[in-house]
Amino acid sequence: MLGYEPGDSLAHHLDPRTKLAVQLAFAVAAFAHTDPRGLAVLTGVTALALASARLSPVSVLWGYRFLLPLLAAAVLFELVTLGPPWLDPAAAVDPLLASYRTLLIVGVAAGYVRTTAARESRAAVQWAIPGKPGRLLGAGVGLVFRFLPLLRRDLAAIRDAERARLGDERPTRERLRTVGAAGLRRAFARADRLAMALTARCFSWNATLPRIRLRAVDAPALALAAALLASVFV
Amino acid sequence: MSTATDSVDLVGDEVAVNLVRAALVAALMGAFAFVSFPNPLNPAVPVTAQVLGVFLAGIYLGPAWGGFAMLLYVLAGALGAPVFSGASAGLGEIFGPTGGYLVSYPFAAALIGAVVHGVDGLVDPEGVSFPRLVGAMTAGTVVIYALGIAVYWYYLDTSLVAAIVGAGLAFVPAEAVKMAAAVGIVRSDEVQAT
């Protein structure tokens, strides 16, 4: 599973806003140049992004493996025709290029996921969306990161208990109902306890976040983002 | 660390409770992405409980906070929390062929909340009539699949038929099972809305 890991790679030292800018510019450029030449250049950029995060392409593919059947289905649907000549390779070219583009965009995004801590992302959100809406979103995102492992454990415990009582032989609707109800009940119980604790400890709109600032190391990455954006108009 | 010199501005009790509930529903939705069940109608495509999370967010949190919860889910996933299907994350998912589904969740949850609760204030979901609950979830499902299929179709340059079959028909029947489960949860007395 792909997630944040502390480290000392080049991408770890970049400002989160720089990394977000590169991802957005890359996605725009990839949509504008979904042709063999454009994708070849962008493959180089993706390799650069992965190298800067010290990520191997294989681990990225493994992390997003569930995407592959979906992409393959799109290519196959166009490749196979109902009637002679049965196979139509020309029609499959566009979906094939689009599928490859997906993998490139996902690869660049994986670099961000691996090298950016939740609180840096939160600081970037609050920089991008000023005022209370941004603070609300920032605090919420922080809580999602923090509570995801706990709720996953809750659900795993519920499923274990279900299995021990042969609940996994029940119909799917019943299982979804019991797991959903128990999961929601636990989540709400956690939420009410946490909300009371936060209020008791003066939960305020002005939380202290890590200071994010652009440094010299960000300059080449920002130049890359600008070049990607400029390529759209070429 | 940065320092601030302005005076402390406390978050109101009601906002704090709603914010935390929305965040935990978003996290629960992410946890749902890890559990899959056998699909009674189509064994090849397992059912994940994620869309059930959208239904529950709209039904229990209402239009505003339900939509906000799904916004948090999408944003946290884009910023690296492993909450999307297959425990994946990243902005690449939003720009991927299944991005339409993700983007539709806040709208679907807000719509479900609006149909269930109306526009002025929240009601107790247990008191909502069966047709209204099912109607709300059907409308939400339509929003999810309309956006999901449109993005898949546009994104992968396939024919519209291929998109509807590949991204829609394979999954839609399972949504009926999730709706039945959601109705069961609302009627079961196990979850207190307030």
A189: Cβ contacts below 8 Å, ≥ 6 apart: none
A38: Cβ contacts below 8 Å, ≥ 6 apart: A29, A30, A32
**Which of B5, B11, B98, B189 would you mutate first to test chain A, the one with the most A CBs within 10 A?**
B11
- Chain A residue numbers with beta carbons less than 8 Å from the beta carbon of B19 are 136, 139-140, 143, 195
| pLDDT on residue A194 | 94
Find, in chain B, the residue whose alpha carbon is nearest to that of A124.
Answer: B79
CA separation (Å) from B80 to A35, A150, B87, B159? 29, 17, 10, 32
Average pLDDT rounded to a whole number, residues B97-125:
90
pLDDT tens digits for range A6-21: 989 999 999 999 999 9
| pLDDT on residue A144 | 94
3-state secondary structure of B2: coil
Candidate CATH numbers 1.10.10.10, 1.20.1510.10, 3.30.420.40, 1.10.1760.20; the one for domain B13-187 = 1.10.1760.20
| pLDDT on residue A206 | 79
Average pLDDT rounded to a whole number, residues B10-33:
91
CA distance A107 to chain B (A): 8
Q: How confident is the model at residue B155 (pLDDT cuts 50, 70, 90)?
A: confident
CB contact under 8 A, B83 and A151: no
Nearest to B55 by CA among A27, A206, A170, A177: A177
CA distance B106 to chain A (A): 14
What does the block give as tokens for A219?
């300059």
| pLDDT on residue A140 | 93
What does the block give as tokens for A209?
């976040």
Q: How confident is the model at residue B153 (pLDDT cuts 50, 70, 90)?
A: confident
Average pLDDT rounded to a whole number, residues B107-133:
90
ipTM attached to this prediction: 0.89
Which of A116, A179, A194 has its CB closest to that of B80? A116
CB contact under 8 A, B80 and A4: yes
Interface A:B, Cβ pairs < 8 A = 270
The per-residue DSSP string of chain A comes to --------SHHHHS-HHHHHHHHHHHHHHHHHT-SHHHHHHHHHHHHHHHHHTT--HHHHHHHTTTHHHHHHHHHHHHHB-SSTT-B-HHHHHHHHHHHHHHHHHHHHHHHHHHH--HHHHHHHHHHHS-HHHHHHHHHHHHHHHHHHHHHHHHHHHHHHHHHHTTGGGS-HHHHHHHHHHHHHHHHHHHHHHHHHHHHHTT-BS----------TTHHHHHHHHHHHHHHTT-
**Which of A177, A186, A196, A205 would you mutate first to test chain B, the one with the most B CBs within 10 A?**
A177
| pLDDT on residue B194 | 61
| pLDDT on residue B4 | 60
Q: Is the pLDDT of residue B23 over 70?
A: yes
Chain centroid offset of residue A185 CA? 28
Which residue, chain included where needed, has tokens 């990520």? A55
- Chain B residue numbers with beta carbons less than 8 Å from the beta carbon of A167 are none
Q: Is the pLDDT of residue B168 over 80?
A: no
CB contact under 8 A, A109 and B22: no
pLDDT tens digits for range A47-90: 999 999 999 999 999 888 878 887 888 788 778 877 777 787 77
CB contact under 8 A, A176 and B89: no
Which residue ranges of chain A lie beneath pLDDT 50?
none
Gap between the Cα atoms of B8 and A194, Å rounded: 20
**Which of A127, A132, A172 would you mutate first to test chain B, the one with the most B CBs within 10 A?**
A172
- Chain A residue numbers with beta carbons less than 8 Å from the beta carbon of B82 are 1-3, 148
- Chain B residue numbers with beta carbons less than 8 Å from the beta carbon of A20 are 91
Nearest to A162 by CA among A186, A183, A179, A149: A179
| pLDDT on residue B42 | 61
Q: How far apart are the first and last CA of chain A?
A: 38
CB contact under 8 A, A64 and B88: yes
Q: Where are the domains of chain B?
A: 13-187
| pLDDT on residue B3 | 62
Q: Is the pLDDT of residue B1 over 60?
A: no
pLDDT tens digits for range B39-75: 666 666 667 788 899 999 999 999 999 999 999 999 9
**Single pTM value for the model:** 0.90
CB contact under 8 A, A125 and B79: yes
Q: How confident is the model at residue B131 (pLDDT cuts 50, 70, 90)?
A: very high
| pLDDT on residue A63 | 84
